[in-house]
Copies of this chain bind each other. A is one copy, B any other.
Amino acid sequence: MTKKINEQEAAAMLRQADHILLLAHQYPDGDTLGSNFALCQALQTMGKTVRVLCGDPIPERYDYMYEQVSQPDFEPAFICAVDVADAKLLGPALQQEYGHRVDLCIDHHGTNTGYAAYTCVDESCAAAAMVVFRLVELLGVALTPGIAQCLFTGIATDTGCFKYANAGALAQRMAATCIDQGIPYEMINRVNFDIKSRARIELERLALEQMTFSHGGRLAIMVITNDMVQKSGAGENDMEGLPPIPRQIEGVWVGVTLRQKKDGNYKISVRTGTHADAAKICALLGGGGHQRAAGCAVDGSLEEARTAIVRAVETAIPRITTG
């Protein structure tokens, strides 16, 4: 069993530690990278030996977050996972090497499995970067542009650039404090929210062509097959930000994206508005996540995956059938 600790205790623990290995989750996003590289820089400022590891390659557009941050090689004495709700999310290699001996986990997911010896979770934070923002303060490290741009990236990406329900006043005030440091927020927003490759545009067009609506337009299902990905020329970096699309359509309560994996099976992303709980739907298929955004996986054909998720939606949200 993990011991739950608050931010003061987590800061005290980090103050004691050295030769710290920070761990990000696989398929890295702006928040896991932003919160890890911000904490890494803060701890390095304190004179500690620290680096960040991620089980997957880091997409190029995040270069700005770590190209100025030294990543020394050393034997870790303290292992800290940031924004990693489950040891499985470290990816197979890092899970096997470090999953059983994580000293501290800093997170904002209510679904955190408690795999670390100590866990500091603040569910009220929209982003792990908001927890780290407070830790940096508690550690007495002054914000630098380098730290601030990482924190801003985490907050901005996990709130959909301040669009989602979780983008409260605190998220915006923390972002404003980061902007005060003179960070290139326009570039950060542009690379994270604006720019799409021509291949990505083509993939969206193909996916929109095939989108299906049912349950009086309240359920929208978008499918991304390997064939469509190939036809569009899209690479791994072009795949982020697809799951919100179906729910953005008027009248849709539940937006589902079925994405074919390399092995042919399907990864399912669910997005919901105020009418439905995405985590509840995905839990029925062994997945999890947040109230408005969750995921799961189904082994089988497209039609099997489609049938399974439709059944889960109908079970979790009976009202979707009647409206």
Interface residues in chain A, defined as those with a beta carbon under 8 Å from any beta carbon in chain B: 161-165, 167-170, 172-173, 175-177, 179-180, 185-186, 189-190, 193-198, 201-202, 204-205, 208-209, 211, 213, 217, 244, 247-250, 273-274
Besides A172-B172, A190-B273, 16 other CB < 8 A contacts? A162-B162, A162-B175, A164-B189, A169-B176, A169-B179, A170-B176, A172-B175, A176-B176, A186-B274, A194-B244, A194-B248, A195-B249, A196-B248, A197-B249, A201-B211, A204-B208
With known contacts A193-B163, A198-B249, A250-B196, A179–B185 Cβ distance under 8 A: no
**How many copies of the polypeptide does the oligomer hold?**
2
- Cβ A198 vs Cβ B250 within 8 A: yes
With known contacts A176-B173, A248-B194, A186–B205 Cβ distance under 8 A: no
- Across the two chains, which residue of chain B brings its CB closest to A246? B201
Query: Can you identify 27 A-B contacts, CB atoms within 8 angstroms?
Result: A161-B161, A161-B162, A161-B163, A162-B189, A163-B189, A165-B186, A167-B189, A169-B176, A169-B180, A170-B176, A172-B172, A172-B176, A172-B179, A176-B176, A186-B274, A190-B273, A194-B244, A194-B248, A195-B248, A195-B250, A196-B248, A197-B249, A197-B250, A198-B213, A198-B217, A202-B208, A205-B208
Output the least CB separation between A187 and chain B (Å): 9
Residues of B close to A247: CB separation below 8 A: 194
Residues of B close to A165: CB separation below 8 A: 186
- Across the two chains, which residue of chain B brings its CB closest to A186? B165
- Cβ A249 vs Cβ B201 within 8 A: yes
- Cβ B201 vs Cβ A208 within 8 A: yes
Residues of B close to A273: CB separation below 8 A: 190
Residues of B close to A213: CB separation below 8 A: 198
